[in-house]
Amino acid sequence: MKLKSIFTNSFGILLSRVTGLGRDVLMASALGASVWSDMFFIAFKLPNLFRRIFAEGAFTQAFMPSFVASRHKGVFATAIFLRFLLFLIAFSLFITFFPEPITKLLAWGWGEELISKTAPMTAINFWYLDLIFIVTFLATLLQYKEHFATTAMSTALLNISMITALYIYMKDDPKTVAYALSFAVLIGGGLQIAAHLVTLHNFKLHKLLLGGWKYRKVKDIEEEKKHFESLFLPGILGNSTPQISAFIDTILATFLMTGSVSYLFYANRVFQLPLAIIAIATATVLFPTVSKALKNGQEDVAYKNLNQTFWLLAFLLGMAMAGGILLAEPIVWLLFERGKFTELQTLETVKVLQMYMIGLLPFGLAKLFSLFLYASHRHKKAAKIAVYSLISSVTSSLILMYPLGASGLALAGSIGGWVLFTFTVKEVGIDKFLEIVKSKKSLYFIAVILLFSLCIYFINIWLVSLIR
């Protein structure tokens, strides 16, 4: 287990998430949980969805095994890059000229007037999808060289760009703030690309791409491209259940009271922090190692990494889950309750955050076990499991959204997380899982989490008495 790489990646992601929270704090102060904040979050939702899908491993987990196995890596990488980029540019041009239909798909519960006001921002934000694909593609090449820091830290550039826009325009009217944020998203994407290009040059990987372009018509890679295509869509679906579920929840939230979209966004931002710096950072570092080990027939090495990493994630995610549930109110109060973000909005966001946190442990551990499905090219199995999880999540959302509001949507996502974890473990091997949990570490895990939860419970009582 590469602890140094894991902690380096975690630190980079932590930096990005901290700047992201800083951005959200300023955004909450400038816009609160209002119509304009809902409009911006809807406009940013689709490119942000694909950012999470691409940047948090879905593209990499489809591309990496094929790239590792490729005999002509430069030609293969260049061919895949150009195919995706041309498609995305064409799609973005379509959205630029016809933004209202896609906006309506994102906000079914909104009227025509609100849709027409949001549509221009949708067109602006959608170009971030093209930029983040370039970032993710370059990041995957760097991961092959087992370099993770640039990618982990680069999201901070997006956040810094948005923070700068908020700082400059915070005192203007809400419409100006929302549009300033939209253009800042594109500037941040450009900065992320620039950072990756510099690092790519330092690793001399630009030669691989230039060579791939030069010899693109000489080397026959049709079989390799077909193999990648057979893995790509199942890989995207299998690795993006939380994102797709959150995306659907945003659509459903437009049928609820004003502010519901914002409550989901702010709470999900807090939820994503421990998920990213613990689970996603670890999975990102581990994936190239597992892929190479399984390709070379070294299953014992791959499963040794699983055993060691499982307990690291279990302890860290378990404590984060308990802390997030019990300290939800002080966390939301500290981060967001200022300016136009009121006490009532804090309490609504707290309920949503607590429901999200119930799913932290299963989503994080499912991320770990799913590595073995992707590394062994079982992308279709992963996709099938994701469908089970998504169906359970959406069904639960429809049942819970009216009695519980936005918190019901968050709880439904957590239910989907437990379904995802259960079926992923079953597919990787229940015997492997039982072999891990039969360890004495299971007793230590239960004892530590119970003791930690008890301490946090009393700390929460004290903190709430201070802030209220």
- How does pLDDT run across 375-391, given as a tens digit for each residue? 777 878 888 898 899 99
- Percentages helix, strand, coil for the chain (3-state, rounded to 5) are 85, 0, 15
Segment among 50-59, 109-118, 225-234 with least mean pLDDT: 50-59
83-87: long-range pairs with CB below 8 Å, 24+:
84/133, 84/137, 85/130, 85/133, 85/134
Q: Are 417 and 243 in contact (CB under 8 A)?
A: no
pLDDT of residue 215: 58
First-to-last CA distance in the chain?
45
Whether residue 398 is predicted with pLDDT greater than 70 in this model: the reply is: yes
CA dist 58 and 50 (Å) reads 10
pTM of the model: 0.71
Euclidean distance between CA atoms 281 and 34, whole angstroms: 33
The 8-class DSSP code of residue 255 comes to: T
HSE value, Cβ hemisphere, 13 Å, CA-based, for 391: 6
Choice among 156-165, 292-301, 376-385 with the minimum mean pLDDT: 292-301
The Cα–Cα gap between 66 and 236 comes to 14
198 pLDDT above the threshold of 80: yes
CA dist 52 and 444 (Å) reads 34
Helix (H, G, I), strand (E, B) or coil at 337: coil
In this predicted structure, which of 214-223, 261-270, 419-428, 456-465 has the lowest mean pLDDT?
214-223
Q: Which residues contact 353 (CB under 8 A, 6 or more apart)?
A: 267, 270, 271, 324, 328, 331, 332, 410
Nearest to 318 by CA among 266, 362, 256: 362
- 228 vs 439: CA distance, rounded Å: 38
Listed in sequence order, the residues at least 6 apart from 68 whose beta carbon sits closer than 8 Å to its beta carbon are 144, 288, 291, 292, 295
Distances in Å between the alpha carbon of 250 and those of 38, 100, 254, 323, 415?
10, 17, 7, 25, 17
List, as own/partner pairs, every contact residues 268-273 make where C-beta atoms lie below 8 angstroms and the sequence separation is at least 24, other chains included: 268/356, 268/410, 269/20, 269/21, 269/24, 270/21, 270/324, 270/331, 270/332, 270/335, 270/353, 270/356, 271/324, 271/353, 271/356, 271/357, 271/360, 272/17, 273/14, 273/17, 273/21
pLDDT digits (tens, 9 = 90+) for 239-282: 677 777 877 888 888 888 878 888 898 898 889 888 888 887 77
Domain boundaries, the chain: 3-467
At residue 217, the pLDDT reads 63
230 versus 91: the higher-pLDDT residue is 91
Closest CA to 102 of 44, 58, 38: 44
